[in-house]
Structure 1
């Protein structure tokens, strides 16, 4: 009986990702017969079929789905091991891969990166902007070293380590001069008369906002615009009667000029944010240097 190896798992993961042996072979730079033979060898080793043929491409069997979870974890752990060994061997700070929510891209994170790279010029940083679950998926796949964003509930992410850094208040906003501005204690039905511009529906803020309406037996507002761009969202609100739901610190940015907070007690909520890493993963000296600067900055300014 042969032992599984990293190459077999990498080939398997590539086919699973593209759902096509032809596309996976091109991606890996190997011939289709070579890839097919490797997958077949893996199936013989495990004694099960990992893929089933579909009208277009292939799909994972239940056995394949089970292997996928473990193979992704092995790839991440192997990548961590390689990075740690390279760091120990070369004494280098290396490259840090960071995923960050919109608020962090504007304020604390750029300052932390600037300070860390100023002290250690050998540090290289790649920053990917995004929201919630998409960033956490990339973190779990080993595509990011850390995520700086809103913290998910602990019971939903037992495989991840959470470090709280900041908190901020979520609020409803509109343009200055809007007919709702200045009215005390607005109700949820008051908000339903206007269009909405929102971050993607999959984000925690959007889901939290919708749940408030559902809990009151009201249909949530329909977003006429959904965007990952906070700048676009704020400008949409600024030049229309649209409303949005965001954190109060967003209004400190230049793009939020002319945008004000509405008094809506029923949707007021706090959002905690911070650093998210894989539990028990290795962090490079470069990643730790940026984390140290973030912690220091957030201790002085605990909102973001």
Structure 2
């Protein structure tokens, strides 16, 4: 069975808007014309896609089964159109990527600089966040690549096996924090300090928890939990909080003499990071070009240089 993209667009617009009238307004067509379009699609499918109610349109089981495939086909058609337009010089291709804070601060900019140096017609859209935010962005087609802590593949998302690197995380404090004056500082000495870290369930939280458990210590009382890198850095630099961060995330602040690793002997925890993509569909060419540069940086060991 072949699908008409015009019909699929009409179908997904009705689903997202919730009613025939709102969908018709969005598509700038009349309701009767839109009804005929959906009727032809239902004839091609051989079954009803909607149950029509006074308050709107509700998907049938068959309509619900068709929806993710329709969204995928429309997205792939959009990617093809964008790539061809870029090759013809009619439009810029777009790299849509997400990254955790440490990679957004150092490694990703290196790769972007390299890819834009070769492909000046591209431009880049970036989101920053912890894994749950990046996974949502991949599933919803907000981004095409995500750079984050290595984790298990899922039904919709898979790791890129040949694009991996490592960094190290530490306890971080302002350079004027009182604990820096304590002789023979230990991890146990941090338990009474105020802490600010990403929330429970995120990779940084679990990484820190494993570090404390490995030294037979309970987690400290976390005063502030936030996904905002900006807030975390401000709390550490300006309010005497401690935090747990990968070294690239605070490298600039460390060089500026604002905050840095708290000198606790033996406290350094490595983590593996990787690139992720959607399991289904074709990786858009702009994202593939960025992935090539990410692989190149990994192969040459430049990723490790950013963590030193």
The alignment's TM-score, normalised by the length of structure 1, stands at: 0.72
Q: Distance in 1 between matches of 2:202 and 2:178?
A: 28
Q: Distance in 1 between matches of 2:197 and 2:54?
A: 37
Tell me if 1:302 matches 2:303: yes
Cα distance change, pair 92–113 in 1 and its aligned pair in 2 (3 A)? farther
Partner of 1:124: 122
Cα distance change, pair 176–87 in 1 and its aligned pair in 2 (3 A)? closer
Q: Is the 8 A contact 1:234 1:259 kept in 2?
A: no
What stretches of structure 2 of length at least 5 have no aligned partner? none
Q: Distance in 2 between matches of 1:226 and 1:184?
A: 25
Cα distance change, pair 103–120 in 1 and its aligned pair in 2 (3 A)? same
Q: Is the 8 A contact 1:147 1:275 kept in 2?
A: yes
The 10-residue stretch of structure 1 (234-243 or 71-80) with the greater mean CA deviation from structure 2: 71-80
Residue 61 of structure 1: CA displacement?
5.2
CA RMSD of superposed structures (Å): 4.2
Partner of 1:98: 96
Partner of 1:186: 188
Q: Distance in 2 between matches of 1:54 and 1:218?
A: 57
Q: Distance in 2 between matches of 1:125 and 1:99?
A: 11
Aligned with 2:239: secondary structure? coil
Based on CA coordinates, which of the two structures has the bigger radius of gyration?
Answer: 2
Aligned with 1:69: secondary structure? helix
Cα distance change, pair 60–173 in 1 and its aligned pair in 2 (3 A)? farther
Aligned with 1:294: secondary structure? helix
Partner of 1:254: 253
Partner of 1:242: 241
Partner of 1:270: 270
Q: Distance in 2 between matches of 1:194 and 1:156?
A: 41
Q: Distance in 2 between matches of 1:165 and 1:93?
A: 32
Residue 289 of structure 1: CA displacement?
4.1
Residue 234 of structure 1: CA displacement?
0.4
Q: Matches of residues 61-140 of structure 1 in structure 2 within 5 Å?
A: 62-83=61-82, 86=85, 90=88, 94-101=92-99, 102-121=101-120, 123-131=121-129, 132-140=131-139
Cα distance change, pair 118–22 in 1 and its aligned pair in 2 (3 A)? same
Q: Deviation per CA, 1:105-138: give whole Å up to 9, x if none.
A: 32232233223323343x3122222222333343
Q: Distance in 1 between matches of 2:200 and 2:19?
A: 30
What stretches of structure 1 of length at least 5 have no aligned partner? none
The 10-residue stretch of structure 1 (148-157 or 242-251) with the greater mean CA deviation from structure 2: 148-157
Q: Distance in 2 between matches of 1:177 and 1:16?
A: 56
Q: Distance in 1 between matches of 2:217 and 2:20?
A: 48
Q: Is the 8 A contact 1:170 1:247 kept in 2?
A: yes
Aligned with 2:276: secondary structure? strand
Q: Is the 8 A contact 2:47 2:62 kept in 1?
A: no
The alignment's TM-score, normalised by the length of structure 2, stands at: 0.71
Aligned with 1:281: secondary structure? coil
Residue 167 of structure 1: CA displacement?
0.9
Aligned with 2:245: secondary structure? strand
Aligned with 2:271: secondary structure? strand
The 10-residue stretch of structure 1 (137-146 or 46-55) with the greater mean CA deviation from structure 2: 46-55
Residue 240 of structure 1: CA displacement?
1.7
Aligned with 1:98: secondary structure? strand
